[in-house]
């Protein structure tokens, strides 16, 4: 088979995901707090992929401004990633509806009561993370339009299971029901081709896009990525089993110690009865948002959090996002052409 046949096969395998997203290729740039703002999101969608604004801890007013600014930079579809535990989730959904955002991703747990209905009533397609087969089935029953299956190789907050195992468990069971996008540890097109052949509708990458020219991440943050290898991207350690701490994968640095200190502080205030469990979780999440900001925006890659996935070793240069997509697509095409 020639690589033009590889190209035709890739288009065929990505057709369902691309149609769902309204993009040329079924590759999402996963939302990354502080990194996935107007510039990266618009560049991703303009390059034929699908960008997602990371709402993170933004207020409804800030999200409103970010969506408007992104729309000014692209007329291609893009989505918004909201976090389930945000105290103003309902207002954030209303902002998305007002802007007629076409796709909303809900991250950080199952959709809270009423949120799924509100998102769909606003006309957006809802995408949720499925950390296990049982939850994938439950989410589909409750009416989500697509799933992201993300393994522990990923950067940022992670679950306990690897991408390859989740893909094998979940794709054969549910890929015919809703589009499933596989995420975590994908650095090259060969892996994209493999997951598509297993039934994925597309893929989501984060780490690979951090060093895009259009990414506003601080030069120190990008340098840390370019220097790092897979084994430098480690999961955070949970000190107190009572604390609802979701592990975070980031580059090893002194910030790991600061997180331990934060956990001790929150655990003590739980002991004293000064803090309830939900508030403790929120405090931990605020800690991460602050630590990530310190690294991404301020460039303090020693004390901040340099969230990165294990694919970080495959990030070797700063380059335009269109070139990254072209490289991924080219590798996938060659891999598919070789199948014969």
Ligand X SMILES: Cc1cc2nc3c(=O)[nH]c(=O)nc-3n(C[C@H](O)[C@H](O)[C@H](O)COP(=O)(O)O)c2cc1C
Residues that bind ligand X (CB under 6 A): 30-33, 35, 54, 56, 81, 107, 150, 153-156, 183-186, 204-208, 307-309, 311
In angstroms, the CA 192 to CA 208 distance is 13
Q: Which lies closer to ligand X via its Cβ, residue 6 or residue 309?
A: 309
In angstroms, the CA 296 to CA 285 distance is 16
Q: Which lies closer to ligand X via its Cβ, residue 25 or residue 183?
A: 183
Considering the complex, what minimum distance in angstroms separates the CB of residue 85 from ligand X?
12
CA atoms within 13 A on the CB side of 100: 4
Q: Which lies closer to ligand X via its Cβ, residue 45 or residue 204?
A: 204
Residues contacting 249, CB < 8 A, separation 6+: 152, 153, 154, 155, 156, 158, 233, 234, 235, 236, 307, 308, 309, 310
Alpha-helical segments (H) within 22-88: 38-46, 60-73
Q: Which lies closer to ligand X via its Cβ, residue 275 or residue 311?
A: 311
User: What tokens appear for 223 in the block?
Assistant: 């340098």
Contact 150, 157 (CB under 8 A): no
Considering the complex, what minimum distance in angstroms separates the CB of residue 144 from ligand X?
15
For helices 38-46 and 321-338, what crossing angle results, to 10°? 40
User: Could you give the angle at the alpha carbon of 107 between the alpha carbons of 54 and 166, nearest 5°?
Assistant: 120
Q: Which lies closer to ligand X via its Cβ, residue 270 or residue 324?
A: 324
> Which of 223, 217, 222, 264 lies closest to 240 in space, CA to CA?
264
Considering the complex, what minimum distance in angstroms separates the CB of residue 213 from ligand X?
17
Burial call 3-23: b when 16+ CB within 10 Å, e when fewer:
beebbebbeebbebbbebbeb
Contact 221, 297 (CB under 8 A): no
Considering the complex, what minimum distance in angstroms separates the CB of residue 79 from ligand X?
11
Q: Which residues pair with 106 in a beta bridge?
A: 82, 128
Q: Which lies closer to ligand X via its Cβ, residue 6 or residue 313?
A: 313
In angstroms, the CA 150 to CA 134 distance is 15
Nearest-10 Cα torsion for 76, 115, 285, 275: 160
Considering the complex, what minimum distance in angstroms separates the CB of residue 58 from ligand X?
10
Closest residue to ligand X, judged by C-beta, is 206
Q: Which lies closer to ligand X via its Cβ, residue 33 or residue 70?
A: 33
Q: Which lies closer to ligand X via its Cβ, residue 21 or residue 186?
A: 186
Considering the complex, what minimum distance in angstroms separates the CB of residue 249 from ligand X?
8
């Amino acid at each position: 088979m020639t690589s033009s046949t590889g190209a035709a096969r890739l288009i065929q395998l990505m057709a369902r995901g691309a149609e769902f997203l309204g993009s040329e290729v079924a590759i999402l740039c996963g939302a990354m707090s502080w990194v996935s703002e107007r510039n990266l999101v618009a560049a991703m969608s303009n390059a034929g992929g699908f960008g997602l604004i990371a709402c993170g801890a933004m207020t409804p007013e800030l999200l409103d401004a970010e969506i408007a600014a992104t729309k000014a930079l692209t007329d291609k579809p893009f989505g918004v990633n909201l976090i389930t535990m945000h105290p103003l989730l309902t207002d954030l959904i209303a902002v998305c509806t007002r802007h007629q955002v076409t796709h909303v991703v809900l991250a950080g747990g199952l959709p809270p009561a009423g949120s799924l209905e509100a998102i769909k009533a606003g006309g957006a397609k809802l995408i949720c993370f499925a950390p296990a087969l049982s939850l994938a089935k439950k989410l589909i029953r409750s009416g989500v339009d697509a799933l992201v299956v993300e393994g522990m190789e990923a950067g940022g907050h992670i679950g306990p299971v690897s991408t390859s195992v989740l893909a094998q468990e979940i794709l054969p069971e549910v890929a015919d029901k809703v589009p499933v996008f596989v995420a975590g540890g994908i650095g090259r097109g060969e892996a994209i081709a493999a997951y598509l052949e297993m039934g994925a509708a597309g893929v989501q990458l984060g780490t690979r896009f951090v060093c895009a020219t259009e990414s506003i991440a601080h030069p120190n943050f990008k340098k840390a990525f370019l220097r790092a290898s897979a084994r430098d991207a480690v999961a955070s350690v949970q000190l107190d089993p009572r604390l609802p701490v979701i592990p975070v994968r980031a580059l090893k640095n002194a910030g790991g110690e600061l997180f331990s200190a934060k956990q001790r502080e929150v655990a003590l205030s739980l002991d004293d009865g000064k803090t309830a469990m939900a508030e403790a979780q929120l405090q931990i999440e605020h800690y991460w948002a602050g630590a990530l900001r310190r690294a991404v925006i301020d460039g303090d890659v020693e004390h901040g959090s340099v969230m990165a996935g294990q694919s970080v070793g495959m990030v070797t240069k700063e380059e335009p996002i269109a070139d990254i997509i072209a490289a991924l697509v080219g590798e996938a095409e060659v891999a598919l052409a070789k199948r014969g």
